[in-house]
Amino acid sequence: MAKITLEEWAPLLARESIKRRTSLVLLFCLISLAFLAMGFLWQNKFESTVTLFIDDSNIVRPLLEGAAVSTANRDQVYVASEILFSQEILDTVMARGGWVDDSMSLEEKERIKEKIIEKTSIENQGTTLLRIGFEHSEPRTAYDTTRRFADLFLDKTKEDQATESEKAFDFIDSQVETYRKKLADSEKRLQDFRTQTSDARPGTEKNLDARILELRRQIESTELEYAEARSRADALQRELSRVAITADNVYRESQYLNQINELQSEMNLLLLSYTEDYPDIVKLRQQIDDLRQLASREKRVREEQARRGSTLVIGQDAFVSNTTSLNPIYQKLKAEASSAEADANSLQSRLEHTQVLLEKELNRSNKTTDVERKLSDLSRDNQVNHDIFQDLLKRRESARVSMTLDQERQGVLYRIQEPASYPILPKGIRFMHFALAGIVLGFAIPLALLIAFLQVDPRVRLASTVSEELELPLLAVVPHMASTREKDPWYAKRSTLTALIICVLIIYAFVSWLKYTQGS
Amino acid sequence: MTDNRARIANVRSILENTQRKQRRRARKRETQAMVSLATPQAQGELLNPSTESEVGFMQDPRLFTDKQLERIGVVHPRSKNRALVDSLRQMRTKLFQACPEGNFTVMVTSVVPEGGASFIALNLASTISFDRAKTSLLIDGNMYDPTLHKMLEMIKLKPQYGLLDYLSDPNIGIENIVSPSGIPRMRIVPIGNRMEGDTEHLTSKKMSSFLDEIKQRYDNRFVVIDAPSISSSVDARVVADLCDFIILVVPYGGVSPNVIETVVDEIDEQKLVGVVLNNEPHASF
């Protein structure tokens, strides 16, 4: 790649352009004529637009906000598209625009519809403006169609709104009537059921549950008390069996034991001073042994009596010897044991009675659950019907207001903010742009190609390449000498190339004149 | 292994190139220094009246008219193409500055065939003869594409012998091959009749003595040899050894710098007096 400085570019380009003038001029002609042809064949697009003002800010609506069905937040472009591209409006536009006739097939008509939809643009401008545009190669058609679209759209929206509100009111009204009947029916069924079933009272099941709970608590409490009383009676009985009925034997035995203790003390005292074989000590030991034999004999007698069951019941006739008397402990225990037995029997009787009551309440409760379920179903049905009915009543009133608003044109209204304009200039690029681009690019593209070529081609064209890059002494740069014998071919002659450029310019002028004559 | 060899070869090549460039720079500096010193002397020689009287004896039987010269592509002092005349004069002056003492023999060769060496040689000889105190002798050494005989035919001159005849036939003298050119103070030696073994004649001693003789015969005669392209013929290299200077013609937009470097490597750089960028297109329509 050649290194070319900025100073060298201008003369180099001039030289190379002259050298390759034929190619450059031919390229210029080709490019400019190609653009001219494109521009001539380019279909101009004229667009006519109408701007609608979406008026939903009337005085009444804020008062009814939340009551009536609001359409303010709906996507206006979507709504407008739905309306504009409805079968009815498209058919009318096509018929009035003369796009269709009776001889056309359905497919052709559909194709035209698709084209119309494609050429129609709907867009929001801010929140309150809606812009409807239509493109066509004929400005008159674009203008007429846009105006027609706007008129039909306004008529249709007004008509649709009124119809829609009326239909909504009728529907809600019919629903109100339906639910009124349903509500009356459910109330009647509830009433009949309550009449037929005595338990069908509110709170019956709750009371039963409380009663059952109380009885169960009583049973548990009584069971505890009974167990306690039974345990006490048994304990007293066991104690009674161990206590002697009379106090004689016991007394004598205790006398013997006391004497033994006294003698033992005395003997211990003597043993401190004397030996075992001291006569007093021997004597005391013999006395103690005798007393122990007597005490053991008394004990055996008492145990024999107890084994034979010789008890003495207080208050009953019994034989009592002179040497015997009733044991007071035995008497007291006997009285307490009788009392405890009586308490236990009483508690057992109460427990049985409470269990019988619990059984009865449980049976009653089973029956009441079914009744309660039926009653609950009927009440729920009644409540649901009641709620829906109330809601529908509100909605009916809202619908009535909406219907009235729409009938009196108080709902969302579209007004023409800016009427359809007759397009004077085509939209987008047009012939003039192509023509200018042809001239400019006709110069620019060959020049760019030449620059690219010079940038890429490594062949020596500059004195600096020899002297600086190759570092060789440069004697001279000899310009081309055109000898008199040397002649340019006819196509490279200055006159030919100038004529060619003039021809292109004449063609430009002619085509431009033709285009604008046709256009006007 | 192969990589190392390639790397060594590459480094060697870079070193050689660098050395070559250094030699060129040194020569360039020497030439510039020489030019600055020699310029007044060279200027004086151009106006030397004695030399002028010496060349006044040269008689031209027929001269080209300006129109004829333009037709055959030779500049003349009255040429309207001032840029061309000026560039050739500039080349001539630089050449004289490169060799301020006495005359010289210069070979004009092109980097590639059809590079314009004949045009430059012819016009260099013509430009030298612009000066009334100097004469030029143009030798047609391009045996593949000789041009001078065509020029002579235009002025109804048809020399019997030429360079090759002189070199091959001992009976033919220098006076038999030097012809008037139709341009004042300029003589030409056409290629002559071609025969086998021409290249061998160029290397002969006779060729060397021929060049010495024609150079020394007149102090103010400058010998210009039109040689074939150095890249396509060995003749140019053979003749280059016999000349004092070499002018390398590079056609505008014809070769890349690599080609020029290759050609420069093949010739003695001490003799390379300079490069001429030939046939630059005009910048105006």
**DSSP track, B157-201:** ---S--HHHHHH-TT--HHHH-EE-SSTTEEEE---S--TTHHHH
- Domain membership of residue B211 (yes or no) is yes
Query: Is any Cβ of chain A less than 8 angstroms from the Cβ of B30?
Result: no
CA atoms within 13 A on the CB side of A418: 13
Residue of A453, A460, A493, A495 for testing the chain B interface, max B β-carbons within 10 Å? A460
- Domain membership of residue A1 (yes or no) is no
Tell me, what amino acid is at A139? Answer: P
Q: Is the pLDDT reported for residue B194 higher than 70?
A: no
- Domain membership of residue B11 (yes or no) is no
Question: Which CATH number is A144's domain given?
Answer: 3.30.1890
Q: Is the pLDDT reported for residue A505 higher than 90?
A: yes
Nearest CB among A461, A483, A484 relative to B253 is that of: A461
Cβ proximity of B245 and B107 under 8 Å: yes
* Residues forming beta bridges with residue B109, ordered by sequence position: B248
Nearest by Cα to A4 from A474, A477, A455? A455
Buried b (16+ CB within 10 A) or exposed e, B238-248: bbbebbbbbbb
pLDDT score, position A412: 58
Tell me the C-alpha distance between A134 and A122, whole Å: 9
Tell me the C-alpha distance between A453 and A2, whole Å: 10
C-alpha distances out from residue A308 to A311, A314, A436, Å: 9, 18, 150
Nearest by Cα to B218 from B130, B107, B137? B137
pLDDT score, position B198: 61
Same domain, A251 and A148: no
**End of a domain among A317, A338, A356?**
A356
pLDDT in tens, A385-396: 889 888 888 888
Q: How far is A510 from chain B (nearest CA, A)?
A: 28
**End of a domain among A407, A428, A449?**
A428
Q: What is the number of H-type helices and E-type strands within chain B?
A: 12, 7
CB contact under 8 A, A477 and B272: no
Nearest by Cα to A120 from A415, A431, A420? A420
Helix (H, G, I), strand (E, B) or coil at B11: helix
Same domain, A342 and A233: yes
CB contact under 8 A, A471 and B25: yes
Same domain, A255 and A282: yes
Tell me, what amino acid is at A419? Answer: P
pLDDT in tens, B134-183: 899 999 988 888 888 777 777 777 788 889 889 888 888 888 899 888 89
- Domain membership of residue B34 (yes or no) is no
Query: Is any Cβ of chain B less than 8 angstroms from the Cβ of A21?
Result: yes
Query: Is any Cβ of chain B less than 8 angstroms from the Cβ of A15?
Result: yes
CB contact under 8 A, A476 and B94: yes
| A258 token code pair | 């006391």
Q: What does pTM read for this prediction? A: 0.56
Residues 6+ away with beta carbon under 8 Å from A113 = A90, A94
The pLDDT confidence band at residue A520, using thresholds 50, 70 and 90, is low
pLDDT score, position A509: 93
C-alpha distances out from residue B42 to A480, B47, B108, Å: 29, 9, 22
* Residues forming beta bridges with residue B245, ordered by sequence position: B106
pLDDT score, position B261: 92
- Domain membership of residue A475 (yes or no) is yes
Q: Is the pLDDT reported for residue A65 higher than 80?
A: no
pLDDT score, position A460: 93
pLDDT score, position B56: 43
pLDDT score, position A198: 67
* Residues forming beta bridges with residue B250, ordered by sequence position: B277
The pLDDT confidence band at residue B224, using thresholds 50, 70 and 90, is very high
pLDDT in tens, B80-105: 888 899 999 999 999 998 888 888 99
pLDDT score, position B28: 60
Tell me the C-alpha distance between B217 and B285, whole Å: 47
Tell me the C-alpha distance between B142 and B228, whole Å: 5
Helix (H, G, I), strand (E, B) or coil at A127: coil
User: Would you give the distance in Å from CA A345 to the centre of its chain?
Assistant: 67
Same domain, A445 and A506: yes
Nearest by Cα to A120 from A153, A154, A87, A84? A84
* Between A436 and A328, residue with greater pLDDT: A436
Pairs of residues, one from chain A and one from chain B, whose beta carbons lie less than 8 Å apart: 130
Nearest by Cα to A287 from A265, A259, A250, A251? A259
For chain B, the domain total comes to: 1
Q: Strands across the sheet with B105-110, in order? A: A474-479, B272-280, B245-251, B105-110, B221-226, B135-140, B186-189, B179-180
Residue keyed to tokens 């500059």: A462
- Domain membership of residue B24 (yes or no) is no
CA nearest to A19 within chain B? B281
Cβ-based contacts of B26 with chain A (< 8 Å): none
Nearest CB among A21, A457, A470 relative to B261 is that of: A470
- Domain membership of residue B133 (yes or no) is yes
Tell me, what amino acid is at A334? Answer: K
Same domain, A282 and A388: no
Tell me, what amino acid is at A21? Answer: R
Same domain, A192 and A287: no
* Between B24 and B68, residue with greater pLDDT: B68
- Residue B272's domain comprises 39-278
Instruction: Tell me the residues of chain A between 454 and 493 that have a Cβ less than 8 Å away from chain B.
Output: 457-461, 463, 465-466, 469-481, 483-485
Rounded average pLDDT over B212-228: 88
What integer best gives the mean pLDDT of chain A? Answer: 83
Nearest by Cα to B60 from B135, B166, B170, B164? B135
- Domain membership of residue A396 (yes or no) is yes
Tell me the C-alpha distance between A138 and A306, whole Å: 142
CB contact under 8 A, A460 and B250: yes
Cβ-based contacts of A470 with chain B (< 8 Å): 257, 260-261, 264, 275
Same domain, A148 and A31: no
| A141 token code pair | 């058609």
| B268 token code pair | 């003695």
Cβ proximity of A23 and A496 under 8 Å: no
Same domain, A241 and A342: yes
- Domain membership of residue B15 (yes or no) is no
A159-173, A247-261, B38-52, B68-82: which range is least confident on average?
A: B38-52
- Domain membership of residue A469 (yes or no) is yes
pLDDT in tens, A258-294: 999 999 998 998 888 888 888 889 989 999 999 999 8
Same domain, A394 and A295: no
CA atoms within 13 A on the CB side of B92: 27
User: Would you give the distance in Å from CA A92 to the centre of its chain?
Assistant: 45
- Residue A481's domain comprises 6-42+430-519
pLDDT in tens, A433-478: 999 999 999 999 999 999 999 999 999 999 999 998 899 999 999 9
Give the other-Cβ count within 10 Å of A373's Cβ. Answer: 11
A263-277, B118-132, B188-202: which range is least confident on average?
A: B188-202
- Domain membership of residue B236 (yes or no) is yes
Q: Is the dihedral of CA A503, A507, A513, A517 positive or negative?
A: positive
Same domain, A200 and A82: yes
Nearest by Cα to B69 from B139, B12, B127, B6? B127
The pLDDT confidence band at residue B27, using thresholds 50, 70 and 90, is low
Ramachandran area for residue A310 (φ above 0: left; ψ -120 to 50: alpha; else beta): beta
- Domain membership of residue A324 (yes or no) is yes
The torsion of the CA quartet A9, A10, A15, A21, rounded to 10 degrees, works out to 110
Tell me the C-alpha distance between A293 and B222, whole Å: 186
CB contact under 8 A, A475 and B24: no
Cα R_g (chain B), whole angstroms = 20
Cβ-based contacts of B31 with chain A (< 8 Å): 473
Same domain, A267 and A228: yes
| A223 token code pair | 């069971």
- Domain membership of residue A340 (yes or no) is yes
Same domain, A195 and A327: no
Tell me the C-alpha distance between A228 and A221, whole Å: 11
- Domain membership of residue B20 (yes or no) is no
Cβ proximity of A398 and A67 under 8 Å: yes
**End of a domain among A400, A428, A456?**
A428
* Between B279 and A194, residue with greater pLDDT: B279
Q: How far is B261 from chain A (nearest CA, A)?
A: 7
For chain A, the domain total comes to: 3
* Three-state helix/strand/coil letters over A380-418: HHHHHHHHHHHHHHHHHHHHHHHHHHHHCCCCCEEEEEE
Helix (H, G, I), strand (E, B) or coil at A278: coil
Tell me the C-alpha distance between B166 and B192, whole Å: 8
The pLDDT confidence band at residue B53, using thresholds 50, 70 and 90, is very low
Tell me the C-alpha distance between A497 and A21, whole Å: 8
Question: Which CATH number is B107's domain given?
Answer: 3.40.50.300
Cβ proximity of B181 and B149 under 8 Å: no
Give the other-Cβ count within 10 Å of A34's Cβ. Answer: 14
Tell me the C-alpha distance between B242 and B207, whole Å: 8
Give the other-Cβ count within 10 Å of B285's Cβ. Answer: 10
Nearest CB among A459, A481, A483 relative to B255 is that of: A459
